[in-house]
Chains A and B, each alone.
Chain A
């Protein structure tokens, strides 16, 4: 009991003080043990947990596998691909946070999931990591189909929906890609899509965009598409 309170205090300090003291060796040992709990000794490698173990672990964290919340722990443990965890990612990730028990981790993840739609740095971190888990290790890009699945997952609660008063941007984006985009989605396109979505949320008139700006061509084309689509809408709004 005493131990737990001490741990919680550390957790608080970490949150509000911004960290800054060396992680305790004891924490690491606890995390190693926790990692072993979920590792299938027969089938998994010495430093890996595969699908079954990961699912069990996520279930213990109380994470919903149907929405963006599952991306939060994946980012924390730097999961190399969907449904897998490495010992190093697991131990380092949780050590940095200072949560070495399931209870603490569950609490932390729940807090993070709650903040996902408001803390844009957090959302960006989670979003970017999804690309890494989504692609095959040997590939540099993910299929459009896959990308759309993840966009639909991320841009929906508990993530931040990509929509403004006048437009459901996610819907428009997917519609545009399905009609015009035949290639896969590379890392640049993935990351730039997030930056673009943030800009759009701040300014749905797209006035921040110019032909000279650094957006990838696909986004330039999308802007043209969106402007054309919304052309009528914008005009009728003015006459109102």
Chain B
């Protein structure tokens, strides 16, 4: 479509160089031709003609600008260059007129037609501007450069001048209408219609091009674009999504809304890639996030509890991703999540804790693990393993592992049960777990262990049970034992597992020692007596094993006494000066019962040494009174009575009178009619009350150990610091000990009292304590 003003222009001859008016007329015609008919090309003659005319205009000697006559007498020295200004002003006049005309024409268009018009005219104008810039190169190189060098404001090279004129004359008039049209199109697209988005891209480019840095014309800024495009665009976006989301939320579920919001956010990102300036990405996201997420964050968070309760992983992930986009969006979720996990953990414990005394360790630990596993999976799937959520999970787990209905009396029930569970896993033949399974279970134990606050309690119970496994050789696998110890070491350091490792070493050394002893014994036995008993010995370092000397006197039977005296001689030769204390209560043996009637193959009894001593008395006499047994064995009733009880119950011995417990005055006789389906009979059974006693003892030693640990921490700190404020000392002490257990302030203070009394510390002025070497 051609416009009336743009008729074909036939270029006349280049005018005489002295005739300025004619020269400008000629130039104007050339410029107009380029503006109007660039698509038809420009012939060489015209090009050269215009170029020459510019040169002529600028270098004309005689020509004196009308405008300069009054003021520029002293400016004659500027010579030919004076004339550039005339040309420059003429060009401005021409462009202004041209653009004013365009503004008028634009008024006949609206919406998309206006966009088309704007883009078409912009393209024509800027392309022409490039050519004209070339043709006016002489002006640029001389007059414009000089003016700019002298620091004149608002003088531009010819191309930039075109842009400035566009902005001043046309843009200011039409930009709002253009932008309205743009926003209408975008809204159409947001409503699902297809639009010609290349148009918007062109508008964006045009607006960006008009951003000229006033202080440095060679640079461009985004100011114009930001003010005239970005600002209204963001405002329109905000309004659109505010009203859309409000309506959507009213009519749909939150989950549906989240899906919608997700799609919208993706769309907007796509929009930037498609036709917007990349500069908008950050503010646009912010605007969308505010309208789509922040404005609705309260109802989203309310929904979170519902999603948690129903295990809606996908929807939680959606919510996580949405709220992650806004500042502090996730904090309330984390708090809710933490509370939820804690509640779930307590609920799981409550379910199994009906009878806390009879609680199976495995049932308890499984209950703890199940919750942890479930919510760890949630953190991974829905919350992308985000560290803060992991921390919330850890906090919750630490809470319900250490403070739950089972731990009513204190935080040490969990470590006790965990250690018992570990014992059950590592003990031979209890559940027959596969090797690979075993490793998994150990890892699970470590998961719970991580949350245990009273790690020292676990250590105590674990070492007791390890000791038991080692001396009774009931450990299912050395590899598993070592693996467990190294896991503990990794978490708590060398000191924590030092004794456990030493116990292991002792067993190894004992094995070698027994080999040596066999040889030694063989040599002695060559010269006479029979071996009598086949024995193995374990030498346990006193400081490392959590075992106490026997709490009863005991006279071992002669058969055993001979054997152990021989070993003592052997050991004394190897390591002179070492004292051996026999832990009779942990010794055991097997006896063959050759006396039974009606039985060809003899029964084998598995018995403790104490039981052995009792039974051996019946080699001499078929009947022994309670007092005889006491006299012969020297055992205290605490130990003797249950041992006898087991024999009576198993019908190996009969007691008369039958009623009552074993006690002074009773008579025991060997039952020759003993019968059993099994050939091997285990009589070495721990009594319930003994086990309970042991647990109590363990807890008692823990209290003692804690006092020592706190005192040594205090002394260590004070030794290093010499002087310290009381409160600082207390908090430092807590810091040092926290990895083992969480000390209570009054307990620490009691330890300080003790150290003051022992004069390791002294009280100084102002709540300060001093160290006394």
Contacts and interface: CB of A to CB of B under 8 A. Distances in A.
Nearest to B731: A212
A212 B727 contact: yes
B749 A217 contact: yes
A211 B763 CA distance: 18
A217 B753 contact: yes
Main secondary structure of the interface of B (DSSP, over half): helix
Contacts of B756: 186, 188, 216
A213 interface: yes
Nearest to A184: B757
A227 interface: no
B763 A191 contact: yes
B749 A188 contact: no
How many interface residues does chain B have, given as a range?
Answer: 10 to 19
A220 B757 contact: no
Interface in A196-220: 211-218, 220
Contacts of B763: 188, 191-192, 214
Contacts of A216: 749, 752-753, 756
A202 B752 CA distance: 26
Interface residues of A, number: 15
A26 B757 CA distance: 43
A186 B757 contact: yes
B745 interface: yes
A192 B746 CA distance: 17
A217 B757 CA distance: 13
A140 interface: yes
A211 B727 contact: no
Contacts of A211: 745-746
Contact of B757 (A140, A213, A215): A140
A192 B749 CA distance: 14
A180 B699 CA distance: 25
B767 interface: yes
Interface in B717-732: 726-727, 730
Contacts of A217: 746, 749-750, 753
Contacts of A140: 757, 759
Given A186-B757, A188-B763, A214 B746 contact: no
Contacts of B726: 212-214
Given A140-B757, A188-B756, A188-B757, A214 B767 contact: yes
B759 to A, nearest CB: 8
B729 to A, nearest CB: 9
Nearest to A211: B745
A191 B757 CA distance: 12
A186 B752 CA distance: 13
A140 B757 CA distance: 8
Pick the 4 closest A-B CB pairs, nearest first: A214-B726, A214-B767, A188-B756, A186-B757
Interface of A: 140-141, 186, 188, 191-192, 211-218, 220
22 contacts: A140-B759, A186-B756, A188-B753, A188-B756, A188-B763, A192-B763, A211-B745, A211-B746, A212-B726, A212-B727, A212-B745, A213-B726, A213-B727, A214-B763, A214-B769, A216-B749, A216-B752, A216-B753, A217-B750, A217-B753, A220-B746, A220-B749
Interface of B: 726-727, 730, 745-746, 749-750, 752-753, 756-757, 759, 763, 767, 769
